[in-house]
Structure 1
Amino acid sequence: MEVGLVEMSVFLRICAILFLVLTASLLGSDAQTKLVFYLERKATFRDLDALIILVYVESGAACYYLLQVCKSPFSAWFEGNLKWPSPICLAWVCFLLDQAYITFAANSAALESSLFAVTGEKEFQWMKLCNRFTRFCIQIGGALLCGYVASFLMAVISFLSAFNLFRNYSPKRFLSLKEK
């Protein structure tokens, strides 16, 4: 990868890590207790399964990107001293793992289930949760916004990984391999 692309990739990964950690911490620390019909009711992110999954997905993605950022200073040493894995093999692995589909899907599922907390569902007798737990819902909304920003940054990183991978397959190089 060229020097400018490496720096941009590291910068984007650090920004994505910050947004992923922010999303996971906002969701994980979100709780509000209110007195509802003479009972004390506590709303947490554990009330919706999609939010629990989102915390795990965002945390896992943040750990992966942290490993990728830590790998960058050592990649030159690995390329010079190790014969396997080849740079093309590493580029394929990074390309496949850099895909942002899982985090985007988890954010979208959490958004969909959170809309039930905002609107309620009369057919299932689910009451509106956000008219009683407003701070809880506002913090969930902020976390989902941060999650979508992280997904966008991850999509840009995925484009950079695709460029890094497919620049290894130039037409001249392919034709020279085919002739042999």
Structure 2
Amino acid sequence: AVEAAAALRSKERASRDRAPRPPVAAAAAAAPPPAAAPAPVARPAPQPRPRPRPSFVRPGVGALTSGYGPRWGRLHAGIDLASGIGSPVSAVAAGTVLSAGVEGGYGQVVRLQHADATVSLYAHLSAILVTKGQVVPAGTYLGREGNSGASTGPHLHFEIRVGGRPVDPVPWLRARGVTPTRP
């Protein structure tokens, strides 16, 4: 009986395999069309991030040639950086130009007032590139190194005044991550 049932199943399979099948094109026409793929979403190309401006920069590119402290019986209220006439002089921090012009022994000088009321001074310039009242970010070229005023040779004389009083610019700059001497 088991053999007879197996033979019957084998015959049914053989007749099913021989049955006519619909052509492939007809089967495709009977099937619903595939759903359209969603349109790709346009994404903007990634933009490079602007490099943040530093908060504090070196005022000049030259070597430190004279420090803060007593000199010739009086206070040398800043530091001197020398690299040659015409070298760029930069704002150490963002600020507003308090004055830009000639002032006695300083020669051509620029004074900046910063957000915390600190004043930075850049003296003995050969050229001034900013005007009074101008707001400048850190690193802006204020002028060019020179030999104007009571100067002993081409250099930038740089001062920091806190509360109207001069402070040594070297530790002031270092506290803000700036090395005042040539690397």
Q: TM-score interval w.r.t. the shorter chain?
A: under 0.3
Compare the two structures and name the one with the higher strand fraction.
2
Kindly indicate which of the two structures has a greater share of residues assigned to helix. 1
**Larger Rg computed on CA atoms:** 2
TM-score, with structure 1 as normaliser: 0.20
The one of the two structures with greater contact order (alpha-carbon pairs below 8 A, sep at least 6) is 1
TM-score, with length taken from structure 2? 0.20
